[in-house]
Chain A
Amino acid sequence: MDFKGSDTIPGPRTEDHLPHTAQAAVKIVIVGGFGVGKTTMVGSVSEIRPLTTEETMTQAGIGVDDNFGSETKTATTVAMDFGRISITDQLVLYLFGTPGQERFWFLWNGLFEGALGAVVLIDTRRLEVSFDVIGRLEERGVPFVVAVNSFPDGPRYPIPELRTALDLADEIPIIECDARRRASSRDVLMTLLRFLHSLARAKARA
């Protein structure tokens, strides 16, 4: 581990500090294939310049740091972008944009656990990337909405057609977005929150 030494560590700018009243955080994960706009979406709504965290994984999906002495496994470093939105003086929302290699998304222990929900960003040029991730979110019971990024050279499908192609239940929201625009990315997050709220209401009634 090439640790830089404590004097050279650049910390957050003073204006990026959370208030001392910050009590708890929640997280939302943005998933999607290579180059679909995850980093763009995180950056367009984040109040801080997006940062990158990383994790070292073995093929078996276990953090390698406690595997010293055991036989060598191929380790891969996976980097993930994230941003932050202060909700109140007490509550902070973090947004994580998963890296492009789908097989690592679910190996990152603790990324999806506890997340309020997920946004599946869809590139209509490569829909197949989304099948696997949608299946795995369903398996794990992570609620999600689907956001279709409008790339100029991407084929445009009517929403019902996309729903059929992705085999999505009727209640799962699908919306179009432009991840470069803050208001549009915010609307995607609002759609997820409204969906989560409707699920909560339905459960409370049940």
Chain B
Amino acid sequence: MVAGPDGERADIDLVTLIVARADPPPSATPEQAAMLRLCTAPISVAELSAYLSLPFSVVTVLLTELLAAELVQARAPIVRQALPDRSLLEAVMHGLQRL
């Protein structure tokens, strides 16, 4: 999940949920500090990109740094599988029915 020594990006999806693990340290850049303030509650990478007005790929770079510094936690999305999880689909249906 976390950037390797050659600076490769973390495996981050548009709907990976990000949660801050700490307050912004004094060393944080303004972008990092803004990002940490936005993810005091779980928030998707897409929402971070929207609120920060930064492209998705730029947000993934910033998040890669924050993950490496252990300042945020990433909750991976549930992705489509060859054999889809029927209970997941049923949960989504129930949620939609309540709309």
Contact = CB atoms under 8 A, between A and B. Distances in A.
Interface stretch (A83-91, A152-160, A172-180): A83-91
Interface in A184-198: 186, 189-190, 193-194, 196-197
A53 B56 CA distance: 7
Interface string B67-99: 000000001111110111110111111111101
A197 B30 CA distance: 45
Given A91-B95, A116-B80, A18 B14 contact: no
B89 A196 contact: yes
Interface residues of A, number: 64
Interface stretch (A2-10, A30-38, A131-139, A162-170): A2-10
A62 B47 CA distance: 22
Contact of B95 (A3, A17, A82, A88): A88
A53 B50 contact: yes
A119 B82 CA distance: 19
A25 B80 contact: no
Contacts of B43: 12, 17-18
Q: Classify chain B's interface size.
A: 35 or more
B17 A92 contact: yes
Contacts of A77: 55
Interface string B1-14: 00000000000011
Contact of B93 (A92, A143, A190): A190
Contacts of B33: 6
11 contacts: A4-B52, A11-B38, A24-B77, A63-B56, A65-B57, A65-B58, A86-B95, A87-B94, A114-B77, A115-B79, A193-B92
Interface of A: 1, 3-6, 9-12, 17-20, 22-27, 45, 51-56, 63-65, 77, 82, 84-88, 91-94, 96, 108, 110-111, 113-117, 142-143, 182, 186, 189-190, 193-194, 196-197, 199-201, 203-204
Q: State the majority secondary structure of interface residues on A.
A: mixed
A115 B51 CA distance: 23
A22 to B, nearest CB: 4
A194 to B, nearest CB: 7
B54 interface: yes
Interface in B8-59: 13-17, 19, 30-31, 33-34, 37-38, 41-44, 46-47, 49-58
